[in-house]
Amino acid sequence: MTVSDFGVDPTTASCPEQYVALLRRLRDQSGLAYRTIARRAQRNGDVLPASTLATMLGRSTLPRRDLVVALLRACDVPDDRAAAWLTTWARLSAARTVGRGAAPEQRPPGAGHRSVTPPSPPDPMASVTAAPRGSPMLRLVPGTGGPRDVPGRLGQVRVAGAGGPDPEREHIAPPALAWPAPDHSPADGSRLPVPFQLPPAPPFLVGREAENARLIAAAARDGAICVVEGAGGVGKSALALHVAHQIAARYDGGCLYADLHGTSTGITPAEPADVLARFLRALGAPGAPASSEEASALLRTWAADRRVLVVLDNAASAAQVRPLLVSGPGCATLVTSRWGLADLDATVRIRIDPLRDDAALALFERLGGAQRVVAEPDAAAQVVRHCGGLPLALRIIGARAAARPDAPLRGLAERMDDEERRLDVLEVGDLSVRASLHLGYQAFGDSPREERRWAARLFRLAALPDWADATAYGCAALADLPVPVAERALETLVDAHLLEPAGDGGYRFHDIVRLYARERAHEIDAVADREAALSRLTGWLFATTATAARLLYPQEKLPFAALSDPAGRPGQPLADTADAWAWFEREHTNLLTIARQQVAAGQTLASVRDLAVVVVRFIDYSGYVSEQQQFGELAVEAAQRLGDRSGTALALNIVAVALLRQGRLDEAIPLLERNLAVQRDLGDRAREAACLNNLGNALRDKGDLDAALRHLRAALAIRRELGDQNKEGSVLDNLALVHQRRGEFRQAVAHHEAGLATAAEGADPLWQAQALVNFAETLQLAGGHEAAIARAAESLEICQRYRHQRGIGLAQRVLGDAYASLGRTAEARRRWREALVRLDGLDREANVKLRAALGDDGRDVGHDPTLSP
């Protein structure tokens, strides 16, 4: 594509400011970075350093002709188009020279004023009939916007045929701005300044289309206050400046900009009074009042009758921003901040999150070279993944890649794989992710306020555990703080975008932020303090697990002793079984990751060994088979390091059951047979019965129904011998399923009823729900469809009470089968669809059956968050 295709027409410029704005558009649409243009200019024999180019495009004065020529040549502008640019340059240069010596009434319209050509075509409502060919004239075009068209205020002035190569072309000249007080105009009669203080826009913006459109729309409202918030390095300023340059043409009163230094190295936040004074000087005010209140009022007064855009970058607080707001019709303020600024009344708040993977990869392609991404797609994806969607990190890593175009990306990816080196890699020149994050942390670590220093300490310590989501209770244990204090500290960190809310009262680190926080913890907190913090968290987590398990399984003899907190602190209070189930749903992943961290450190091995036994029933019910296997493997490692043969065998049983759930029978059965031999050798009759029960289920699934009956009957005999009624009910239910597979429905029904009756008193409600759905399946296969619906509905009610997704899905599947058998096809399909949503990723075998039942309709069924629990 050549520049002539871009639609950038230099002949439309009627003043130097417009000309520079068009040069900026030319550079933007070329897609070339400043340094690339500088290198091209050097190859062409021109002198145009990147710093000079940035200064030239950031000013409102007419650039030197040789710099314009260098830019046009570097952007490959064809000769005929370059001639139009230089002709316009000559016209503007001559007008400037004439204007300096002319009387005010002879000055060319618009001289000394800024007007930016809009990026889109003019509003058709503002069009004017063209003048006859060859007859230059001035026309007044009424302003749009109702109340803004007041007496004494000029609309836009269109200059037809004013010195361009096309006599019919219309040019926009800015109006003469009427200040509130005529005596404030310059004494020599020259026009008042129209400031354009915006720094250059980013060369391109990727992955922010929705935020860009939303911000443009919000800024169009009179007196709009638009807050762009997000973490350090996420691209707040880039978005705000990108939008500001797009909408600058709306603001004929000028564009003001200030970096408020809310988080700047070695610079205290800007004082509003100082910023007000700068703004008023830029607008041409003769002076600023002594008090901030008066200066703020004067800014609003001078902006009230003109369109002014104010960009306040890097704000520290709402109090810093309020005096700098403009509220007149057609005015707007864009504010960026790492803080939420919840106490600032805003028209719109736009939170900028890290880029999605596809947008992050696209940005890396633009920065590091698309051909390299194509050549090494896996390495490129790995590099981008480690940047975590942070544009700052991507800019840095893109600059590193561009600086060494012949180096393979694989080496860069390998260096970023090392967590201890990753922050070092994410530094180039004056760009540093570590430095950006440190600016946000300083507001806490260096604060004179005690609660902020608590938040800084919590920020460091919360990065030490390998947990997915932190909670206020967990952080209180970790930092040895009261829960309300920990909660306030966490919310403050969220407001500073150092933590992210994770839903359900949880908090989460961005991966790169966690690395920085851990680095700070290792630099500031002593080893003993870090170990004590992790010990407190582990003790609290395991103790609460024991509390939850006691509520859910009161009849079970589980190894709770090793899970008690060594310091005697109680776990999180849980009121009932629903609380207990919710606890497991929220914390099961944290339990796994912290248990793994403890085993790696050689800590609390006995607790990890017994934790797996306590947690596994919940994990098994929920269908988290991958976690079930990992818990078992951790327990095996912990027991073996303790030299505990019995514990090792029990842990192997957990692994074997997880393999059964995955259909890996040929791996599970040998493990169970080996475990059975160990338990018999140890003389542990209860665990022998458990092995026989699991082995019977595995043989049933393998199709060896006779062997399955033998093992299950042996297990039943031992459990009756031990007087364990709840476990007896479980074996009876498993025997019923074997009879069902054999087509012996009468015996199957009898065993189901006996199992439910035996375990009825004090039974685990979720086991009862599973037994009911098994019973319903048997009744359905035996032709008792109405009875099957009744039993499945009982199971569904229990599972909904506990929000047990897998249980809900299994009950809905059987209900669907029963309704289908009764000819109620629509109801059946509704039930099957919900079952498929609930069981996604939790029950492979059930999903296969459901997709077969739904046919083509089952292929696109995914997660539906609108389903009721």
The tokens 């039974």 sit on which residue? 763
The tokens 């004065």 sit on which residue? 61
Q: What is the pTM of this model?
A: 0.67
Count Cβ neighbours within 10 Å for each residue of 431-448 and write b for 16 or more, e otherwise.
Answer: ebbbbbbbbbbebbbeee
Q: Which of 305, 326, 310, 309 is closest to 148 using CA atoms?
A: 305
Q: What is the pLDDT of residue 192?
A: 64
Q: How do residues 577-605 score in pLDDT, each as one tens digit?
A: 888 988 898 899 999 999 999 999 999 99
- How far apart CA 829 and CA 119 sit, in angstroms, is 52
Q: What is the pLDDT of residue 443?
A: 83
Residue 470 burial class via C-beta count within 10 angstroms: exposed 0-12, middle 13-18, buried 19 and up:
buried
Q: Are 14 and 37 in contact (CB under 8 A)?
A: no
| Strand 224-230 versus strand 332-337 pairing type | parallel
488 vs 425, 516, 587, CA distance in Å?
A: 34, 22, 21
The residues of the chain scoring below 70 in pLDDT are 1-7, 51, 96-193, 265-266, 760-763, 856-869
Q: What is the pLDDT of residue 115?
A: 36
The tokens 């400046």 sit on which residue? 241
Query: SS3 of 113, please?
Result: coil
Q: What is the pLDDT of residue 105?
A: 35
Instruction: For 158, list phi and psi in degrees, rounded to 5.
Output: -100, 130
Let me know how long the chain is. Answer: 869
Q: Which of 570, 482, 478 is closest to 532 using CA atoms?
A: 478
Q: What is the pLDDT of residue 46?
A: 85
Q: What is the largest CA-CA distance in the chain?
A: 115
Q: What is the pLDDT of residue 53?
A: 83
Residue 641 burial class via C-beta count within 10 angstroms: exposed 0-12, middle 13-18, buried 19 and up:
middle
Q: How do residues 778-828 score in pLDDT, each as one tens digit?
A: 999 999 999 999 999 999 999 998 888 889 999 999 999 999 999 999 999
Q: How do residues 559-571 score in pLDDT, each as one tens digit?
A: 887 787 777 777 7
Q: What is the pLDDT of residue 537?
A: 92
Q: Are 441 and 447 in contact (CB under 8 A)?
A: no
724 vs 356, 513, 649, 677, 748, CA distance in Å?
A: 54, 51, 21, 22, 21
What single letter denotes the amino acid at residue 674? R
Q: What is the pLDDT of residue 856?
A: 61
Q: Give the chain's radius of gyration (CA, Å).
A: 36
Q: Are 789 and 751 in contact (CB under 8 A)?
A: no
Q: Are 533 and 486 in contact (CB under 8 A)?
A: no
